[in-house]
Amino acid sequence: MKRLSLFTAVCFGLFLTACTQEQVVISKDDLRKEFVSLNQALRSLDTSEPSLAEIPFGENYLKSRHQLLKRGMAQMEDSELNYLMISERFPERYLPWPIQSDLDSVVVSWPESKQNEWFTFVLARLKNAQESKIRLSSLEQRYLVQFLSKWSLASVEKVELLNYLNDYKPRTRLGMDQLPNGSEWYQSKLNYFGGSVEKPLNWMQLLTIKLGESDEVKAIALDYQNIKTSLTEQFLALRCKPQDGVDWQYHYVHLVNTATNCSFEMTKVERQYWLTLMLLDVGMHYQGWTTQLAEQYLRSRIDGDDEIIEAILQHVSVYPASVFVFWGSL
């Protein structure tokens, strides 16, 4: 009986120890640092040579990211953490080379053996994605082909990936609607950035009413050729103090908190501009607008040259729904 009691006491002690270890408190600042470290290859915040903690979107990376999100959500309420956790349900892992990431400059700095490991991984991921009817957009395909074509490395692995991409059949539209569960994925982004659980069609109606019969407006002054930084983030940086976040896509800036905690007045032109991009966003990602239709709509609303029009389409394609952080300011 004494042995049983001792065994029970030891087990209970170990259980309490395990629970204590699982409940180690992590500050928001430390959580952010861990995300920055994990995503060093995707987004490097310093000028030193980035280290490779885990291959982005590899199994170890996905497990580490999931655990970080769980730790954060267990200890703090944060819309961004919840949004990123929801995003794990969707096919992001099969699209391992995001064109808005820093991977194109980072991979070059890796040893050749690591570069070839990366090429092999990307090729395998894209082949698996095709089996699940997950395809790159034509923009993503074109960007990666151009980058790989300029790369001096002539390894078998790089050439194999480049040949695959050259023969690749991308999605016919730039929006998310052609991805499996793309509409649901887009809805989660609208909910997060827009701060409201509205269906895309409801958003379309609201935006159409707000825009009314407004005249064509000038494209506001932003760095349109910089696909690495969203137009939303660029505009907020001019007006607001950035709030720390954990999403590498937006340079670890919490866009929602930044917009919410910032008080500024938009000009009429700025309001019309962002409303136009919001309607374009819903059209491309939910209604399945073709590139031609999206371009025609944009030209009818925005006074800008061909390069700016094309760049806006690319930004809206790469950063779905992010423009909706401005809804509360309109």
Q: Where are the domains of the chain?
A: 176-329
Q: Which two tokens stand for residue 139?
A: 């923009």
Under a CB-based contact definition with an 8 Å cutoff, are residues 92 and 57 in contact?
A: yes
pLDDT band per the 50, 70, 90 thresholds, residue 2: very low
What is the reported pLDDT for 163? 97
Query: Residue 130 contacts by C-beta under 8 Å, 6 or more apart in sequence?
Result: none
What's the pTM?
0.89
Tens of pLDDT, residue by residue over 243-300, are 999 999 999 999 999 999 998 899 999 999 999 999 999 999 999 999 999 999 999 9
Tens of pLDDT, residue by residue over 126-149, are 999 999 999 999 999 999 999 999
CA 256, 316, 64, 16 torsion-angle sign: positive
Under a CB-based contact definition with an 8 Å cutoff, are residues 275 and 328 in contact?
A: no
Cα gap 239→228, rounded to integer Å? 19
Place of tokens 């300029």: 150
Average pLDDT over residues 23-49: 83
Query: Residue 118 contacts by C-beta under 8 Å, 6 or more apart in sequence?
Result: 55, 107, 110
Cα gap 183→301, rounded to integer Å? 25
